[in-house]
Amino acid sequence: MDDFKRKQDENERQYIWRIGQMVDSGKINNWEEAASIINSECREDDSEYKVSCAYRKPYQNAKGYYEDVFSRMVNDDYANRLAEEKRDLYKERVKLQTEKAEYNKWLRENARDELLLEKFTNSIANCKPFNPPPIIPQSHSDRECALFFGDEHDGVEFQIKGLFGEILNEYNPEIFEKRMWDLLNNVINYIQREGFTTLNVFNLGDYADGVLRIGQLMRLRWGVVDSTVHYEEFISNWLYELTKYVSVNFQMVFGNHSELRFFNQPSGSFGDENMGKVVIAYIKQKMKDNPNFVYVENPSGLIYSNIAGYNLLGIHGNVKDMKKAIGEFSNFYNVKLDYLVSGHLHHSEEEEIGVCKETIRVPSIIGVDPFAQSIRTSANAGAKILCFENGQGITDEHRIKLN
């Protein structure tokens, strides 16, 4: 048989090994037969023929080493080599996937940034300043007045129902506008009744709802961008109408809901990236020719004003302890603060902490929302007007409830 013949490129040991494998497999009956085959293939002279044990013993020794040592080394090396090649292939695939993901992410972010820039650039560039209203003659008094409102959350819509199916609070962009016009009428009636010719208007932040929690997606009619465009147009018109009746000193803080949060970072990670800046830029453009309007900008991004001789600081209000916070802000800015005013918690609250010294929470325009419902808290939608008098502090508080 050709299988028994020695191959041209096969040395003697390789041939003996192959013949021995045939003995083990039964193709050759025994080592006597195997020795006869090997002798005829490897020995030209009969005198050089060897007995079977001369081939069998070396084969058995080699076989023992192969099975106990070399086969494991070969198998382990091969397995390791395969594993290493597999790891290398996996790494290359991950590299390609990562590069592709990063590229797509860059495209998305680039497109988003271009869209934001385009929308806001167009909204500001295309807005024409209002025609100047008649100048409001000013009168001097020891009394000064301030309107506080915030937490409008424009763009959100929901219904909260009671035990008997009644609507406890409903909100959407149309209700937001209605409440703001009701607020305007209330403010105009108050300042005309009290004789004020100048009004400090302080917006305490969270003009839009934003997306701080996934559940909010179900309640948004618009995202932050469209909410911002709607709000900046509305609030500019609202302020313009107010300046027909009173001179306005306007200040605004940024809320946590209008903060841009990149890469799923927590609140404050990108504190300077806030859509409130866009709103302010739009208001400035629309009101730049208005003689009855002043936008007061503080480098801290907070509201700060001296009203009738008292230092007032306005913040959005995401602090745990207002009493502690007023001391911390006083120390940080090295200014004696008499009043600390905030929104954020959507309800009204005052705490007198000294002579003509208070911390004040202002209610929200939105009122009770699903989050407040989930933690079982409630309060009226509303705003607040405070009157200050030199040497007396707050002498009048006018609470405005909005339906």
**Cβ-contact 232, 279 below 8 angstroms:** yes
pLDDT at 393: 97
**Cβ-contact 237, 177 below 8 angstroms:** no
How far, in Å, CA of 214 to CA of 267, rounded?
15
The β-bridge partners of 305 are 312
How far, in Å, CA of 128 to CA of 140, rounded?
33
pLDDT at 270: 39
**Cβ-contact 311, 336 below 8 angstroms:** yes
pLDDT at 47: 85
**Cβ-contact 47, 73 below 8 angstroms:** no
Q: What is the largest CA-CA distance in the chain?
A: 139
**Cβ-contact 259, 279 below 8 angstroms:** no
Contacts 24+ apart (CB under 8 A), 259-263: 259/210, 260/224, 261/212
How far, in Å, CA of 65 to CA of 57, rounded?
13
Which stretches does DSSP call E strand in 230-348? 247-252, 293-295, 303-307, 310-315, 339-342
Match 């995401």 to its residue by tokens: 318
What is the H or E stretch that residue 200 is in? strand 198-203
How far, in Å, CA of 105 to CA of 262, rounded?
12
Q: Is the pTM higher than 0.85? A: no
322, two tokens: 């207002």
CA angle (296, 141, 312) in 5-degree steps: 40
pLDDT at 267: 45
Cβ burial, residue 383 (10 Å; 0-12/13-18/19+): buried
Q: Would you give the DSSP letter of residue 66? A: I
Question: What domains lie within the chain, and their CATH numbers?
Answer: 1-126 (no CATH), 138-401 (3.60.21.10)
pLDDT at 92: 79
pLDDT along the chain (403 residues), means of 10: 83 91 89 91 88 91 78 59 74 76 60 59 75 93 96 91 93 96 98 97 87 47 75 96 98 68 42 70 93 95 96 93 96 97 92 96 93 82 97 96 95
SS3 of 153, please? coil
pLDDT at 4: 87
Cα–Cα separations (whole angstroms), residue 300 to 200, 255, 297: 18, 14, 9
